[in-house]
Amino acid sequence: MAKKERFGIPFVVMLIALLLIGMGSAISAAQEYPVLTTSAGQSADIVTLNLLCEHAGVLYDYSDVPNVDMVKSGVGLGGLESRAGFYVESYTDRDLYPEGTPFKTVLVAIGASLKGMGASGLSVGDEIKRLDDVLTYCKVQGMYIVGIHLGGVATRGAAGSDNERMIDVVAKYADHLVVTEAGNNDGRFEALGVEKNIEATVLKNAMQLIQFLTDLFE
């Protein structure tokens, strides 16, 4: 009789409650729209990130070198238009998120390119200062920041390289770091996850980012 009571209605109710709690946690972990994508270091990795967002069905606004005022202006990025060395695109669903809606999630493609920074009129120091300013604002506003490194080991460079400095500055503010196995050969991103007490996800390859993004915005 004791066994029947243990696995009777009270037990089933408790089990259902636990399952619902688990589902609630999974849903609350999903991140919110609208989304801003941008670059840390002005490499071509931002192009890859944007393409993978499109494959995942994630709509976004994008600027390669936004400043704080642009991010403050929310969806539409203040109506600014692309020009040489400065790019702005807006694919956010305006029916759901009208112009000016504050961003909730920021996806940052990490990868340093002296050519890319030069085309935007930035030095490495300028880019780090811009990132510090923008990401500080995003953090204070409660935006969820995901740092994404899709380049392999060849783009990492030695300690203190331009690329490593971009990783360092994004990791200061990130809520989640994402890297491919080829870019995490030394386990640095997992170590940063432990050091910063944030999530770190290692993907087999860049294409797995599609599923990651799908799950992130489920």
Which residue intervals of 58-123 are DSSP H helices? Answer: 68-72, 114-119
- For 57, the enclosing helix (H) or strand (E) is none
pTM reported for the whole predicted model: 0.84
Residue pLDDT, tens place only, 7-47: 344 433 333 333 333 333 333 357 899 999 999 999 899 99
Measured on CA atoms in the order 124, 126, 130, 133, is the torsion positive or negative? positive
Residues 182 and 136: their CA atoms lie apart, in Å, by 29
Q: Taking the CB of residue 202, how many other CB atoms lie within 10 A of it?
A: 16
- Closest residue by Cα to residue 40 from 144, 140, 131: 131
> How does pLDDT run across 83-105, given as a tens digit for each residue?
998 999 999 999 999 999 999 99
